[in-house]
Amino acid sequence: MGSKIRGRSVFSLHLLLKRHILTFKIALVKTAPNLTDLSISGELVQSWSDRDPSILRGYAKVISRFAKLERLNLPYSSSLGLGFDGGHWCGNAYDGPGGRAYGRSVARQTAEATEEAARIVLEQLPSIRELSIGGSTANITRHENGTASATWSWTGRMKEWTYEVWPAEEPGEEKYDADYLSLDLEESVEGSIDKGNGTLA
């Protein structure tokens, strides 16, 4: 990496299972003080199920030192140390009406974790113009007290949004959703197996 970043001052920082990289990022602030766009990919924690919001808060605090930063792109919320693992990787878990209900549960929890991540970031970066997390871009509102808040495509319409992501394909499919409203993801997968609504390979 050179000492200067030219053009639009865009830099992609790949973080793959590296928890002690803040020192490097502080050095980056010194070498690229005019950075306007920053994209971070990879995982901020060792395990997707780890929950330690202070890790993301620490990253945001360092990123806030880029005085000219306008746009920040973060990885999926399951990579940010917020205790959300992103749901089951096996496609069979999403088969059938129960599987689609599980998919809607995963979508909801993805959205909720994304909202939490945005709150943490905007505490440190209230003047940022654009924030994207996992490919979803927030609508940022700045308030008179100097704070900022984010709204999303699902804000105020979470249920409708989850059905846009995972549409119902059979009549009466909503009855399956109740099985997942109060369960965490691991329990939801087990419930799907028990009910015969999805078969995990």
Distance of alpha carbon 68 from alpha carbon 36, whole angstroms = 5
Report the pLDDT value the prediction gives residue 138, as an integer from 0 to 100.
97
**Among 115, 37, 104, which residue's Cα sits nearest to residue 82?**
115
Helix (H, G, I), strand (E, B) or coil at 140: strand
C-alpha dihedral sign at 194, 195, 200, 201: positive
For the chain, what is the radius of gyration of the CA atoms? 19
Q: What is the pTM of this model?
A: 0.76
Q: Is the separation of the CB atoms in 141 and 149 below 8 Å? A: yes
Q: What is the residue-level pLDDT of the chain in tens, covering all 201 positions?
A: 332 333 344 444 444 334 445 555 666 667 777 889 988 888 877 666 678 898 899 889 888 988 899 999 999 999 998 988 888 888 888 998 889 999 999 999 999 999 999 999 999 999 999 999 999 999 999 999 999 999 999 999 999 999 999 998 888 888 878 766 654 444 444 443 333 333 333
**Among 5, 61, 59, which residue's Cα sits nearest to residue 37?**
5
Report the pLDDT value the prediction gives residue 48, as an integer from 0 to 100.
60
